[in-house]
Amino acid sequence: MVPRLPRKQLIVVGAGFAGLTLVKALDHLPLDILVVDTHNYHLFQPLLYQVATAALSPADIAYPIRRIFRAQANVTVALGTVERIDLAARQVGSGRVSVDFDYLAVCVGATHSYFGHEPAWGQRAPGLKTLDDATEIRRRLLLAFEEAELEEDEAARRAKLTFVIVGGGPTGVELAGALREIAADELQKDFRYIDTGTSRIILVQGAERLLPQFPPTLGEQATVNALGTL
């Protein structure tokens, strides 16, 4: 009888789009895969702006990681945070616990930049990368309308109905458009003393045009739409 060789172990840190795509591509291989994430859900980040503008609830864009891999026999899911990586020893660890690996994939994604001004800017202007970010932005947006409804000073009311979004990439453009839409339509039905349609949405972009990651025609069209509605 030929002895059975031990299976190799792959640890995937992060269950975002990259981590999920990698693990799914390795189905049916003689490989044991451990997926580690700080959350027990996969987040569909492209729709975070809709949570931030109260169009969707957080549960609409979060799906349990264990359910995603329930039929993939070579996958184990662990909730946790990897605090250290020892490449020489081929181990990842958290606290006093260390786990060996043969292969390691770090798929933790990216975060926003405050150009060296964190945490001061972060307190005033939350980014939009997580569910916590989205619910915090939603809280601030809705609270601004509530405060404007009770504000008697016209200048102060205008200030509360002015929103500045920094970054003209896909997220910034989508957030600005969604905010303009709910302010001009949905929210107006709920308030008595303010015209939410007069809200000012200011989209600030440091690059030469909106949507610099996309073809120029799309950036030009987004600019035309923004000038007409924001």
Torsion of CA 193, 53, 133, 205, to 10 degrees: -100
Positions marked catalytic: 174
What's the pLDDT at 227?
67
Q: What is the pLDDT of residues 21-75, one digit of tens each?
A: 999 999 989 999 999 999 999 999 999 999 999 999 999 999 999 999 999 999 9
- The ranges assigned to domains in the chain are 8-106, 120-229
Average pLDDT value for residue range 127-132: 93
Supply the pLDDT for residue 3.
56
Domain 8-106 matches domain 120-229 at the CATH topology level: yes
Rounded percentage of the chain residues whose pLDDT exceeds 70: 96
Q: What is the pLDDT of residue 116?
A: 80
CATH of domain 120-229: 3.50.50.60
Range of weakest confidence among 75-79, 109-113, 135-139: 109-113
**How much is the pTM?**
0.87
Hey, which CATH number is domain 8-106, 1.10.3720.10, 3.50.50.60, 3.20.20.370, 3.30.565.10?
Answer: 3.50.50.60
What is d(CA 62, CA 42) in angstroms, rounded to the nearest whole number?
A: 6
The predicted-structure confidence for 186-204, as pLDDT tens digits, reads as follows 999 999 999 999 999 999 9
Give which of 28, 61, 85 is closest to 133, Cα–Cα. Answer: 61
Average pLDDT, the chain: 92
